[in-house]
Structure 1
Amino acid sequence: MRASTTILAILLPLAALANRAPQVTDNPPDVEYVATLPNGTTSTTGSVTISSGCAGGGEEGVEVQVRIAGLPTEGGPFLYHIHKRYLDATGACSSAGGHLDPFMNNGTGCNATDPASCEVGDLSGKHGEISDTIFSASYQDAYISVQNQSFPDPKSPSVAMRSLVVHFANKTAITCANFTLNSMYVCSSSSSSAGGGSGATGSPGSNAGSGAGSSGSSGSNGASGSSGSSGSSGSGSGNPGSNGGSPSGQASGSGAGSSGSGGNPNGSGNGGSVVTVTQIVTAPVNGGAPASGA
């Protein structure tokens, strides 16, 4: 009797541990499955989209986007789950089988604060039931896989070869649809680029001018810097001018009688080419006028 008690004490914690879903860490990136409602004649429409992240960081879990409308005005709160099989040719929701439950939770309970305790397919149990006729939600789920499979493996947490079923509170099916691979899916992530080109053109003159990314126009009173593309820098110098107007936009002018120049903030591009004009003055020969060359 004592030996049986000891064995039972060992097996019970192991059984409880076996019912917990492990987090998925090997998802292929850039994969998306979509279940589009309705599958039939019900007024309930919408979709559930399950996608992995972009390459270089999309291996852990999935993002789930839910958009459902036209639910009944009575019979809620409504439930929705991933079921373990594809719908058959009849499209009957009863052909979907039970919930996706590869780790044998067997419906013994779902604690939303401990989602590993839930059936993998119990989306409303883990992330909230639907209490209105229109529902929209986006969330991360660490326990669903998007690994491809050629048959609905009961031991896999993958959404491939599975179906979606939306239920009344009493578990009666409202509508259902198969999850299908979105072959057109392209993962995207936000990114920002350095550099800018918002500054106005600097006017030529004796004053130093600067502009962010814009070209300075040349003139008789000293050429300003040539343009830099997308925040690239440019600079130029020319003959002395007088009373040059300060450039507009982000530019500022200062000084009098100095050579004009345009400078852009450093960006990601290279500055455009610069044309430099140089005046050489030689000493008078035998009292004659100075000779000059450009």
Structure 2
Amino acid sequence: MRVSESLSLLVAVAGTQVLAQTSTSASAAPTTTVTPEGPETGKLGNATIVSTNPVGVKYKATLPAEAFFKSAYPDGGNIQGDISAEAAADGKGVVFTIKLSNLPKEGGPLPYHLHVAPAANGNCTTTLAHLDPFERGEATPCNPALPETCQVGDLSGKFGAIPTTAEGTFEATYTDLYASTQEGLGAFFGNRSIVFHYPNKTRITCADFKREDGGVTQPSSTSGFGNSTILPTGGAVTSSSTSAPTGPASSTSVPIAGAAGIKAGLTGVLMGLLAVAL
């Protein structure tokens, strides 16, 4: 067999193996599903349950004395109250406790969300977009019956917006399985903020979360994720009409699995073919 024929055969074998590996990797990549009736799955899949929230860790966001959107309180003032968040007793999810008063008497119901950045000097615009590590976006509304398909930060979408009433008060306590008090996860909100909106997305007020204690107990678990799917530690966030994007979505290439093995195998084939040709 001539050397040229050997090299042609080598190229054909290499192409077949690389195509097979690429096809396998690409087929495993998550896709976005959007239908008129159904929920929208994030580009990185559905949100996963966080089971390794450190027990005892607490965060609180206290609303400022003055509203960011001054027209909501022309005589001064703001929504009063705070939002507490604590890892669940078993580390699975986060318990949110919301106590508010002096709410606007009209214009509701009021959506509210975890946002990706803190409010610099009380500026709610600097909080950027909703916390959305799975890149779900806002093309379709959150379906509370399928919270795993919602943005991690869309608390009102999952648990209901705040009604505006004559009393101007609101209280709620619930457990969100997809938020995290564990630093390093994409769903971690301890260094982020919470923002209250009008339905047209105008930002009324916002507050940063601050850690309240030194809890360090870690729940015993071999996996921190409800379905053993690793949570992304980054990812793009989706901007609302009044939010500035945090940056372009990541465009990480799908790695070719077993590339080192392919290289080693091809080296062996090459050596064998050259030996025959010579």
TM-score range, shorter chain: 0.5 to 0.7
TM-score computed with the length of structure 1 as normaliser: 0.54
Equivalent-residue separation in structure 1 for 2:65 and 2:125 (angstroms)? 13
Q: Which amino acid aligns with 1:28?
A: P
Equivalent-residue separation in structure 2 for 1:10 and 1:141 (angstroms)? 31
Matched residue, 1:69: 101
Q: Which amino acid aligns with 2:78?
A: S
Write the mapping of 1:251-290 to structure 2, written as runs, cut at 5 A.
Answer: none
Matched residue, 2:276: none
Q: What is the CA RMSD across the aligned residues, in angstroms?
A: 2.7
User: Structure 1: 5+ residue runs without aligned partners?
Assistant: 1-5, 150-154, 188-294
Q: Which amino acid aligns with 1:143?
A: Y
Equivalent-residue separation in structure 2 for 1:39 and 1:170 (angstroms)? 23
Write the mapping of 1:100-139 to structure 2, written as runs, cut at 5 A.
Answer: 100-109=131-140, 110-132=142-164, 133-139=168-174
SS at match of 2:125: helix
Matched, 1:183 2:213: yes
Larger RCO: Structure 1 or Structure 2 (Cα < 8 Å, ≥ 6 residues apart)?
Answer: 2
Matched residue, 2:202: 172
Equivalent-residue separation in structure 2 for 1:80 and 1:13 (angstroms)? 28
Residue 11 of structure 1 and its aligned partner are, at CA, apart by 7.7
Residue 159 of structure 1 and its aligned partner are, at CA, apart by 1.2
Question: Is the contact between residue 40 and residue 91 of structure 1 (CA under 8 Å) also seen in structure 2?
Answer: no
Equivalent-residue separation in structure 1 for 2:216 and 2:160 (angstroms)? 28
Question: Is the contact between residue 94 and residue 177 of structure 2 (CA under 8 Å) also seen in structure 1?
Answer: yes
Q: Equivalent of 1:34, from 38, 41, 60?
A: 60
Residue 160 of structure 1 and its aligned partner are, at CA, apart by 1.4
* Number of residue pairs the alignment of both structures matches: 172
Deviations 1:223-276, CA, capped at 9 Å, x for gaps: xxxxxxxxxxxxxxxxxxxxxxxxxxxxxxxxxxxxxxxxxxxxxxxxxxxxxx
Matched residue, 2:188: 158
Question: Is the contact between residue 54 and residue 216 of structure 2 (CA under 8 Å) also seen in structure 1?
Answer: no
Residue 37 of structure 1 and its aligned partner are, at CA, apart by 1.0
User: Structure 2: 5+ residue runs without aligned partners?
Assistant: 1-22, 34-40, 68-76, 218-278
TM-score computed with the length of structure 2 as normaliser: 0.57
**Higher Rg of the two aligned structures:** 1
Residue 61 of structure 1 and its aligned partner are, at CA, apart by 0.5
Equivalent-residue separation in structure 2 for 1:123 and 1:130 (angstroms)? 11
Equivalent-residue separation in structure 2 for 1:61 and 1:116 (angstroms)? 12
Structure in which a larger fraction of residues adopt helix: 2
